Structure formats: C-alpha cells, structure tokens
Amino acid sequence: MKNTTKLLYFCLLISLFGCLPGMGEWDITLYEQKIEGTSKAIYKYDAWGGRDSHVAGFTVRDTAQKFTISGINKLQVSQLTGIPNKNLIQAFETVRVPFEERKNLVEVFVPIKTEKTEIEGVNLLTKYYQDKGFRKIKRKHFRYQFSDFKETRDSIIFYDLNDIISMDKSPHRDSVKVKKGHVILRTRENKGIVSIEAQNLILSKNGQDSLISNIRYDLTPKNRIELSEFTDYGVFKEKSTVPNKIYKK
C-alpha cells in the first residue's frame, strides 16, 4: 500500500512539473527584433509545453543567449510603438477592469499611467490606456497582396497592392505605408516570407498622446521575398531554427 502511494505521489509530481513554465519540453515559435546600439533583442514568443501549457509574450535577452522559457522575464506590454534603441523601448498596454465596473466608466483616450522600468540594462517606457477607451477608437483591418516594397529608417512602403479582403471598404490604394516597430515577418521553410503583420497605433501629436486609431495590415508577397531583404531593426523576424523544434530547459 505504501509503495502504491509513493508511486502515485511521484506521478503527480511529474505531472505538475510538466505544467510549469521552464520545465520539460516546449514547442516554441520565436520572433527577434534587434535593439540598435546593443547586443540585445526583443523577442516575441509563443510556446506550448506538456499537458497543453501555453505561454506567450515579449521579453529582452542578449542575442548570444540560447532562448529558453526557463526564468523568462515577461514584459507587460502588448504592442511596441516605436523602434527600440539602446536608450529606450516604447510600448503600449491596456488596463482592463471587470465588465460590471466597465459599464459605468467614461471612455478615456489619454494614458491613464506611464511606467518606466529597466530590463537587461535597457529602459522600457510603457503607456497604459483604458481598455474601454481603446475599444472605442477607430479600428481597421486591411489584407493586401503586394509585389514590391521599400524600407526607410522608420517605415516600410508596400507597392502594387491587390485587396484580398478588407473589413473597411475604402477606395483601392496602389501603395500603403506602415511605421516600423511592431511589424512581424512570418516565414515558412523553403518559401521565404509568407506573410507580414503590421500594427499601426496612431496617437495625437499635441503632447497628450491621445488614442486616434489602430490599423492592422496583413500583407502577403506575390513573389518570393527573403528575411535578409529587411533590416534587423523595427521588425520582428521569425527565427528559422525555432518553429516546430523542441527545446529543453
């Protein structure tokens, strides 16, 4: 009877450890955006572990380090709002309240708080906005195919667009310009870049940083494009050695 109890207890411990972040094996999809002037990068990660454990978010690590889920320092942000450099990472986050409380809230479109922290020796400036106000601003979603692009210091322009399907029925455009910072380049083995996601959060320029709009672009290349055709700054590049691979602690 004692041996049976010990065996059950041992199995329970294994089961619990398999659910904890950093324990056991993880299937990780990873995106890297290098930080100008440093050897560090911001990583966007999405990982699945044993017994359907799931962790996702952003963190900062040195590019020389092997990426593991163990001991990860998750950033409390949902979106970058600028190109990170050695002095500053600028980010956006919303503050949610219970539904019953939200019903009586008046929408607020300016930051309700600003928080400055430090991670891996780099300053992180996060502006927090009311979730109810964020949900009220103009939000659009466009899907395009494109033939060519041009990357500048702070933006990317996509040319020769075909409108796949857009939630907003605006007039056709020959080109679209997105700001760098929160641009995600997704790849597939032997196919180069298969899709690009860009989040354009627009804030007022009157010094109050009021929410104006939030536009998402999903762009698909008509021709083969490689990750190397983009710079390492202002864009998240999918790490080719990570997707569909199992990494241990």
- 95 & 168 share domain: no
Within a domain: 14: no
- 124 & 166 share domain: no
Q: What is the mean pLDDT of residues 47-54?
A: 79
Which domain does 127 fall in, by range?
A: 20-133+241-248
SS3 94: strand
Look over the chain and give the mean of its residue pLDDT values, rounded to a whole number: 84
What is the per-residue pLDDT for 21?
46
**Rounded CA separation 169/27 (Å):** 38
- 24 & 127 share domain: yes
Which ranges of 103-249 would DSSP assign to H, the alpha helix? 131-136
Within a domain: 111: yes
Length of the chain: 249
The one-letter amino acid at 219: L
Within a domain: 66: yes
Within a domain: 187: yes
SS3 154: coil
**Rounded CA separation 27/50 (Å):** 9
What does the H/E/C string look like for 51-89? Answer: HHCEEEEEEEEECCCCCCCCCCCCCCCCEECCCCECCCE
Residue 1: HSE in the Cβ half-sphere, 13 Å Cα cutoff = 0
- 66 & 80 share domain: yes
What DSSP element (H or E) covers 227? none
Share of the chain above pLDDT 90, in %: 62
Encoded tokens for 66: 């092997």
Does the predicted model carry a pTM greater than 0.95? Answer: no
**Rounded CA separation 144/153 (Å):** 23
Higher-confidence residue of 189 and 56: namely: 56
Write the DSSP symbol of residue 33: E
Encoded tokens for 152: 């500048």
Q: Identify the band that residue 74 occupies on the pLDDT scale cut at 50, 70 and 90.
A: very high
Which of the given ranges, 71-85, 94-108, 160-174, has the highest pLDDT on average?
Answer: 71-85
Within a domain: 12: no
What is the per-residue pLDDT for 100?
80
pLDDT digits (tens, 9 = 90+) for 167-195: 666 567 889 999 999 999 999 877 899 99
- 192 & 211 share domain: yes
* Domains held by the chain: number: 2
What is the per-residue pLDDT for 65?
87
The one-letter amino acid at 23: M
Per the CB < 8 A criterion, the answer to whether 193 and 236 are in contact is no
- 49 & 65 share domain: yes
- 26 & 45 share domain: yes
pLDDT digits (tens, 9 = 90+) for 196-249: 999 999 999 988 999 999 999 999 999 999 999 999 999 999 985 443 333 333
Q: What is the mean pLDDT of residues 72-95?
A: 93
Higher-confidence residue of 61 and 52: namely: 61
What is the per-residue pLDDT for 1?
52
Q: Is the pLDDT of residue 159 over 70?
A: yes
Secondary structure tally for the chain: helices H, strands E: 3, 17
Encoded tokens for 214: 């939030």
